[in-house]
């Protein structure tokens, strides 16, 4: 009887151990399957994002890249230089880079490394690096010299403005008031003191400077003419598309050159229907010297 009891007891113990082993293996297999499934799902999601990104990231034309750079204040030559390397480096978020100082610095460093690796000669590399450093210096000076304006709402009062018509006629004026409904500027006058004839809806290009050689321009239209006896004004439409002008560090040159100056005078003459103003220049020149060219 004793051997049978021992055999029976041993058989029961072996069966219990086998069940525990099977349960343990099942748990391990389930956990492994969950991990594999999770990794597979993440992989598929990542591949889907990369596919969508590659489909959305279409190459941008060099002309479009140049316009983006010029709107950020770079000159045409600088814009052409930057847009060339933006295409070489497959940059697609170009506008975002130009507006972010840190991203622009990284972009310029990438250009530097690209020039080092791909220049045919050392002399060519040095010339390209020199251009790159000049662009960076000019842009850095512009950022530190004045605030970048994006909207006409930010133009300070009493800022001198230059109005340019579609016929390339230039008229100087000044911003008298910057209100929510428009820009109120002094009505320009001609050489005789008469108000310039403008029509409502006339399209204008406006140029102005905020100091430290930081210039801007924007396009607008005349919304209203206010012809009061005290201060005649033009009301211009607001815009959020203010463009920075190319920065020039040395836009003035000192010279010393002899010239002749002719004094001009305005005289009035009765024409029957009214008074006509005539601009008359004297024939005798006055000696002068040019000391500054802008």
Q: At residue 36, does pLDDT exceed 90?
A: no
Segment 180-204 shows an average pLDDT of: 90
Q: What's the pLDDT at 69?
A: 77
Please provide the average confidence, as pLDDT, over all residues in the chain.
Answer: 79
Assess contact for 209 and 215: CB atoms under 8 A.
yes
Assess contact for 54 and 90: CB atoms under 8 A.
no
Segment 236-255 shows an average pLDDT of: 74
The 10s digit of each residue's pLDDT in 15-33 is 556 666 777 778 788 888 8
- Provide the CB-side half-sphere exposure for 206 (13 A, CA): 26
204 strand-pairing partners: 220
Between the alpha carbon of residue 145 and those of residues 140, 230, 250, the distances in Å are: 9, 37, 14
Segment 233-256 shows an average pLDDT of: 77
Q: Where are the alpha helices (DSSP H) in the chain?
A: 2-56, 62-71, 76-88, 94-99, 101-118, 122-145
The 10s digit of each residue's pLDDT in 63-119 is 777 777 777 767 778 888 888 888 888 887 777 887 788 888 888 899 999 999 998
Assess contact for 261 and 286: CB atoms under 8 A.
yes
Assess contact for 255 and 292: CB atoms under 8 A.
yes
Phi, psi at 58, each rounded to 5°: -90, 145
Structure token digits, residue 100 = 């972010």
Q: Which domains does the chain have, with CATH numbers?
A: 62-145 (no CATH), 152-244 (2.30.110.10), 253-293 (no CATH)
Cβ of 166: how many Cβ atoms within 10 Å? 9
Q: What's the pLDDT at 152?
A: 93
């Amino acid at each position: 009887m004793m051997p049978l009891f021992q055999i029976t007891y041993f058989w029961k113990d072996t069966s219990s151990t086998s069940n525990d082993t099977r349960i343990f293996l099942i748990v391990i297999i389930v956990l492994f399957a969950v991990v594999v499934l999770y990794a597979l799902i993440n992989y598929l999601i990542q591949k889907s994002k990369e596919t969508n990104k590659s489909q959305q990231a279409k190459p941008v034309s060099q002309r479009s890249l140049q316009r983006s750079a010029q709107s950020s204040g770079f000159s045409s030559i600088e814009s052409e230089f930057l847009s060339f390397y933006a295409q070489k480096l497959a940059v697609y978020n170009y506008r975002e880079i130009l507006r972010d100082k840190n991203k622009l610095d990284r972009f310029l460093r990438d250009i530097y490394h690209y020039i080092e690796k791909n220049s045919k000669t050392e002399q060519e590399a040095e010339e390209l690096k020199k251009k790159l450093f000049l662009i960076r210096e000019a842009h850095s000076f512009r950022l530190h010299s004045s605030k970048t304006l994006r909207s006409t709402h930010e133009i300070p009062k009493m800022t001198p403005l230059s109005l340019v018509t579609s016929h390339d006629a230039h008229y100087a004026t000044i911003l008298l008031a910057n209100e929510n409904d428009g820009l109120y500027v002094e009505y320009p006058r001609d050489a005789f003191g008469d108000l310039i004839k403008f029509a409502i809806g006339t399209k204008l290009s406006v140029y102005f400077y905020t100091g430290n050689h930081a210039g801007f321009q924007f396009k607008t239209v005349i919304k209203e003419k206010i012809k009061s006896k005290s201060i005649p004004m033009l009301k211009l439409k607001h815009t959020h598309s203010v463009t920075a002008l190319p920065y020039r560090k040395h836009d003035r040159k000192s010279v010393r050159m002899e010239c002749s100056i002719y004094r001009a005078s305005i005289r009035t003459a009765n024409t029957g229907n009214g008074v006509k103003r005539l601009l008359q220049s004297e024939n005798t020149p006055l000696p002068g010297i040019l000391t500054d060219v802008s």
